[in-house]
């Protein structure tokens, strides 16, 4: 993938679409080429930043903040990304099928170009999801601008008359809207429960989000170079005509993209168990469970353990190895998030400490809270608890008693580069 060429195309289609669409229409392309060099990269933006917003920053409205648990967030991100890749192709098939009805010419490659480049504005605007308050306005602006891009593109790619492009655009927009609703329903069904059980607080708040754009772009450039091997495999599979090989190559490419350019095998349950000891400070373990799951070539391992002390105070420990999705947290690391919310009974804050993302929440009225930390852009460790004798210092002491350095040292275990 030529990263400089990718960025030049994004800039041109967004700033000078009238002159860029004829160039796009004239270019020789393939389905695999469009996906590997453009769609699979840009389609990841809204999924990644949606995960950062939902599981790292949290959603706020009228003083209420909710955060989706890490595992639910990762699953939602994967589903969003996977369905987006499918929807782009489905919309292209619809654009192609409807072309004769508007005196256009059927051409599947041109239809896929139309679909992909129309979505560009929405995908780029997806990064604004993490911006407080105005973020969703930017996302909507991107969607509206995408309609304009579609209107300009149809006469060039599908060769429909100018006077037919308005109705053609309206029909495609309506169908695209229906597909987006389907995407929202599926993803919402997966993450709604997690969001409902997330932290909720009331009160005044202050927050700031800055993005190290140079670092993020550098990471994406390195990612593009690391994905070259996967790209060649996908091309070879397409030439062979082997459907199974093509599916495996596509899955491997998705896994490589989410893994930051690497194929990552999450820690086996037995490797995660030692980091959930029988005791946390004065708390004795009462239950433990560890599992490893995979989807679309991406593995994630999760461990849960519950602890109780002599006064019936409860602490729950959750360790998540994001494994095949570790590249997402690496990109999230370039978003420097600082937020603090005060209530009459407690507080919530997120900050960076020694390069690690840290989040803490406490409520005095219900005597419950949580303290979490992200290690090596791969492992999320969280302790949460409740009880009349519990306080934040006890939660911090419980997490501090874990072998965090040992867990962080495993950040490269199971990683296969390229």
Choose among 257, 290, 265, 263: nearest CA to 276: 290
Residue 214: both structure tokens together? 């140079």
Residue written as token pair 């170079």: 225
pLDDT of residue 209: 46
Residues 6+ away with beta carbon under 8 Å from 393: none
pLDDT value at position 110?
Answer: 95
Distance CA 395, CA 281 (A): 10
Give the Cα separation of 113 and 110 in Å (integer).
5
Find the DSSP H helices in 126-211. Answer: 135-157, 165-196
Q: State how far Cα 21 lies from the chain centre.
A: 29
**How many helices, marked H, and strands, marked E, lie in the chain?**
16, 14
SS3 content of the chain, % helix, strand, coil (to 5): 55, 20, 20
| Number of residues written out for the chain | 418
- By three-state DSSP, how is residue 371 classified? strand
Task: Please tell me the pTM assigned to this model.
Answer: 0.54
The tens place of each residue's pLDDT in the chain, 418 residues long, gives 567 888 899 999 999 999 999 999 999 998 888 988 899 889 888 888 887 777 766 665 544 556 677 666 776 777 778 778 878 888 888 898 889 988 999 999 999 999 999 999 989 888 877 666 566 778 888 888 989 999 999 999 999 998 888 888 988 887 777 666 655 554 554 444 333 333 333 344 444 444 444 554 455 455 545 555 555 665 566 566 666 665 566 555 555 555 555 567 888 999 999 999 999 888 999 999 998 876 555 677 889 999 999 888 999 999 988 776 655 555 555 455 566 777 788 888 878 788 788 888 888 888 888 898 888 878 889 999 988 889 999 999 999 899 999 999 998 888 776 5
Rounded to an integer, what distance in angstroms lies between the CA atom of residue 30 and that of residue 16? Answer: 24
Q: Under DSSP, is residue 240 helix (H, G, I), strand (E, B) or coil?
A: helix
Provide the residue ranges of all domains of the chain, joining segments of one domain with +.
3-200, 269-417
- Residue 389: its pLDDT value, please? 86
How far is 328 from 248, CA to CA, in rounded Å?
Answer: 22
Residue 232: CB partners within 8 Å, gap ≥ 6?
A: none
Residue among 284, 297, 289 nearest 258 (CA)? 297
Query: In which residue are the tokens 């809204």 written?
Result: 46
Q: Minimal CA–CA distance to 394: which of 280, 312, 240, 310? A: 280
* CA separation, residue 389 to residues 317, 364, 366, 367, 393 (Å): 18, 11, 11, 8, 11
Provide the token pair at 356. 């690690």
């Amino acid at each position: 993938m030529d990263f400089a060429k990718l960025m030049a195309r994004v800039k041109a289609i967004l700033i000078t679409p009238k002159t860029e669409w004829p160039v796009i229409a004239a270019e020789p392309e393939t389905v695999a080429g469009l996906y590997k060099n453009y769609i699979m990269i840009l389609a990841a933006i809204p999924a990644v930043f949606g995960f950062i917003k939902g599981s790292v920053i949290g959603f706020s409205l009228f003083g209420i903040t909710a955060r989706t648990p890490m595992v639910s967030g990762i699953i939602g991100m994967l589903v969003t990304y996977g369905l987006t890749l499918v929807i782009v192709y489905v919309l292209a098939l619809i654009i192609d099928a409807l072309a004769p009805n508007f005196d256009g010419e059927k051409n599947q490659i041109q239809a896929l170009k139309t679909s992909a480049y129309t979505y560009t504005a929405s995908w780029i605007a997806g990064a604004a999801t993490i911006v407080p308050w105005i973020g969703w306005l930017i996302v909507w602006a991107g969607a509206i601008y995408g309609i304009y891009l579609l209107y300009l593109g149809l006469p060039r790619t599908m060769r429909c008359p100018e006077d037919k492009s308005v109705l053609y655009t309206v029909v495609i927009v309506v169908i695209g809207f229906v597909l987006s609703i389907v995407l929202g329903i599926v993803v919402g069904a997966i993450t709604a429960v997690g969001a409902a059980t997330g932290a909720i607080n009331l009160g005044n708040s202050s927050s700031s989000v800055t993005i190290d754009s140079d670092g993020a772009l550098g990471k994406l450039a390195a990612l593009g170079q690391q994905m070259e091997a996967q790209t060649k495999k996908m091309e070879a599979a397409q030439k062979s005509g082997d459907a199974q090989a093509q599916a495996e190559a596509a899955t491997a490419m998705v896994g490589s993209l989410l893994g930051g350019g690497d194929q990552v095998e999450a820690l086996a349950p037995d490797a995660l168990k030692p980091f959930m000891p029988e005791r946390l400070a004065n708390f004795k373990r009462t239950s433990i469970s560890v599992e490893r799951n995979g989807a679309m070539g991406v593995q994630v391992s999760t461990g849960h353990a519950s602890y109780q002390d002599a006064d019936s105070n409860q602490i729950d420990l959750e360790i998540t190895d994001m494994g095949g999705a570790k590249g997402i947290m690496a990109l999230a690391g370039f978003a420097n998030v600082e937020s603090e919310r005060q209530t009459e009974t407690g507080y919530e804050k997120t900050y960076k400490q020694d390069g690690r993302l840290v989040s803490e929440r406490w409520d005095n009225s219900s005597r419950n809270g949580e303290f979490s930390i992200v290690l090596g852009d791969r492992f999320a460790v969280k302790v949460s608890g409740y009880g009349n004798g519990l306080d934040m210092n006890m939660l911090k002491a419980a997490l501090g008693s874990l072998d965090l350095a040992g867990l962080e040292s495993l950040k490269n275990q199971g990683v296969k580069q390229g």
